[in-house]
Amino acid sequence: MVAQQSTDDSTLLHEEPDYEVVVIGAGVGGIYQIKRLIDLGVNATVLEGDPDLGGTWYRNRYPGARFDSESFTYGYSWDQEILDQWHWKEMFSPQPETLKYLNFVADKFGLRDHMQFNCYVEKMVFDENACVWSLSLKDGREISSRFVLTAIGLLSVPTLPRIEGIDDYKGEAFHTFDWPKEPLDLAGKRVAVIGTGATAIQLIPEVAKEAEHLTVFQRRANWAAPLNNSEISEEEMAEIRQRYDEIFAACARTPGGFEHEPDRRGFYSVPEEERRELWDRLYDGPGFGIWLQNFVEIFMDEDANAEFSEYIAERIRGRVDDPELAEKLIPK
């Protein structure tokens, strides 16, 4: 998408725009934006390039895709009925359930009536005389709007590997960003996964369950800890609903928007034995607690960071049976 300015007097100087506000993207942010605009009585629409809503949760449907945020912290906080009615099934929601949730919200408030799908915006030009945006769509249409809100997110364009000869590869190849809608049959096949980042960590265990042989190509190691996912029972969900105000207040206080808050006792004020006890508890707990409930010094103090890094390295060695492989998985 390209944005430009124009001062051409021949453009939309005396014409009323098609919309007061155009929102680009029908993902998590776009759904919220159109809901707020409708509530304010604004003439608005959402333009979405995909065939349906969901944004990153529509596109990223690879096996193993799920939240790294606790599900109940990721959902919308602005409607009590949604909070009361929706039951998150897992601590870290898988992609199908997340997409189901976004559809539930959109359908509950009739938001689809204000969305246009398969509408990819290729260019935007702002007319300074008319104070109007002209949006050029891939299908050839032109739409005008007084304001434009972009809700395209950070994950709307895939990073494709620049591997020499990749275009000559004759086998099946898939990118996690645009995974086939129909399940892939990997039984009896030799499969290669390129990368060991966050996405690969989710994908690799699922592929390994089916493939006859799996090879993983790693350029450099990444620090990783278990997600420790679990199901959420009816009783646990009822308790979560009672804590929603407290949960969202904590999320508002933290830089990453998570419920986890750092340990402020001070790294060097806590004996080494107690530091390791804290790390054991966080490592065996769910989600990003091992990162975000830790001592703040591990982010800023080289010695504190080195001690914690060695702790994680020890845990990796304890989980991986092959010592040589374990060392390959530890950042150096």
Output the 3-class SS for 69-103: CCHHHHCCCCCHHHHHHCCCCECCCEHHHHHHHHH
Same domain for 203 and 248: no
Same domain for 146 and 29: yes
Which residues face 127 on adjacent strands? 6, 132
Check whether residue 259 and residue 143 sit in a common domain: no
Q: How far apart are CA 209 and CA 194, in angstroms?
A: 17
DSSP state of 214: E
At residue 12, the pLDDT reads: 44
Residues 121 and 10 in one domain: yes
160 in a domain, yes or no? no
Residue 50's domain is classified under what CATH number?
A: 3.50.50.60
Residue 213 lies in a domain: yes
* 265 and 317 assigned to the same domain: yes
Compute the distance between CA of residue 198 and CA of residue 201 in angstroms, rounded to an integer.
5
18 Cα distance to chain centroid: 32
Alpha carbon 131 to chain centroid distance? 34
Residue that terminates a domain, selected from 150, 170, 200: 150
Quick one: 124 and 257 in the same domain? no
Which of 133, 150, 167 is a domain's end point? 150
Residues 207 and 299 in one domain: no
CB contact at 8 A, 78 and 148: no
* Same structural domain, 29 and 92: yes
- Asked whether residue 9 falls in the same domain as residue 91, the answer is yes
Residue 222 lies in a domain: no
257 and 127 belong to one structural domain: no
**Per-residue pLDDT tens listing for the chain (332 residues):** 666 666 555 444 457 999 999 999 999 999 999 999 999 999 999 999 999 999 999 999 999 999 999 999 999 999 999 999 999 999 999 999 999 999 999 999 999 999 999 999 999 999 999 999 999 999 999 999 999 999 998 887 888 888 899 889 999 999 999 899 888 999 999 999 999 999 999 999 999 999 999 999 999 999 999 999 999 999 999 999 999 999 999 999 998 899 999 999 999 999 999 999 999 999 999 999 999 999 999 999 999 999 999 999 999 999 999 999 999 999 99
Query: Which pTM does this prediction carry?
Result: 0.91
E strands present in 213-324 = 213-217
User: What domain range is 143 assigned to?
Assistant: 2-150
Domain annotation covers residue 121:
yes
The answer on 104 and 244 residing in a single domain is no
23, 45 contact by CB (below 8 A): yes
Asked whether residue 310 is assigned to any structural domain, the reply reads yes
Q: Report if residue 127 sits inside a domain.
A: yes
Residue 63 sits in the same domain as residue 198: no
- Domain membership of residue 168 (yes or no) is no
Give the integer Cα–Cα distance in Å for 324 and 332: 14
Longest CA–CA separation in the chain, Å = 74
Q: What is the DSSP letter of 226?
A: -
